[in-house]
Every structure is written in structure tokens, then in C-alpha cells.
Copies of this chain bind each other. A is one copy, B any other.
Amino acid sequence: MQIGEVAARTELSLRTIRHYEETGLVVPSARSRGGFRLYTETDVARLMVIRRMKPLGFTLDQMRDLLDATDRLDADTPLRADEREALLERVRAYQQEAAEQVEKLRVQLSRAEDFEGTLRARLERDAHADRA
């Protein structure tokens, strides 16, 4: 499928999807003779994974690195034990960072809620002041 449909399905912009290719994050599986990017279901799935990762604040480089690790772990080609351990260690590090980031997001959310509440309270106060 071409980029437009991919964008619609992933809710990512065309520019974003092209950018992910530029940085080597998700390279379309093929091109049409005319040069159009052609994506498979697998490519789309990968984009969805990235979309879920985005709120965690990882850089594109980190995402590429992590996806690379899981891809290699899932591949059919068997790995040497030490290679496998190294990959798992990488994934563990990202999982740790993800957990920390989740904590930060919680803090942010509560700050945001707090601020929104303050703003609303203020507006209600001002509305009452109208009659003062």
C-alpha cells in the first residue's frame, strides 16, 4: 500500500513517515517503478509500535536501536548465548528507561491537571466578580 493509506491508518503525517525512512527507522519494503513508497502490513505494524513508543520520549535513534534488538531476538537465525544476552541487556535498559518515563508522565499529567484546574477556578471567580 502507498504512503497515504499508511498515514491514514497510523495517524502519522506523510512527512513523519518519510522522516522515519530518512533516519532508517522504517524503510518501505518496496518502491513502485515510478518511485512511490510501497508498504506491507509488517511495515505498518512497525509504525504502530513506534507510535506507542513516542510518548515515552525516546529519540528516533533509540527506537531504531531497540527495534533492531527485538528484531534480532525474534529472528529465525539462532544467536550465540552471549549475543543473546547482550541484546536482552539492551532491551532491559530500555524497559528501565520506559518505566522512569512513565513516572515522569504521571507527574506531568498531575501538574497539567493542576494548572487546568487553577485556570478554571480563576475563570469562575472572574465570572462572579462581574456582579460585584
- Closest approach, in angstroms, between the C-beta of A117 and any C-beta of chain B? 9
In the assembled complex, 11 residue pairs joining A and B whose CB atoms fall closer than 8 Å, in A order, are A52-B114, A55-B109, A55-B112, A95-B116, A98-B116, A98-B119, A99-B116, A99-B120, A102-B112, A105-B108, A106-B109
Proximity string of chain A (74-101) to chain B, C-beta cutoff 8 Å, 1 when within and 0 when not: 0000000000000010011011001101
- Among residues of B, the one whose C-beta sits closest to the C-beta of A51 is B111
Query: When chains A and B are docked, how far (Å) is the Cα of A117 from the Cα of B113?
Result: 25
Q: How far is the CA of A119 from the CA of B106 in the complex (A)?
A: 19
Q: Which residues from chain A sit less than 8 Å from chain B, CB to CB?
A: 51-56, 70, 73, 88, 91-92, 94-95, 98-99, 101-102, 105-106, 108-109, 111-116, 119-120, 122-123, 126-127
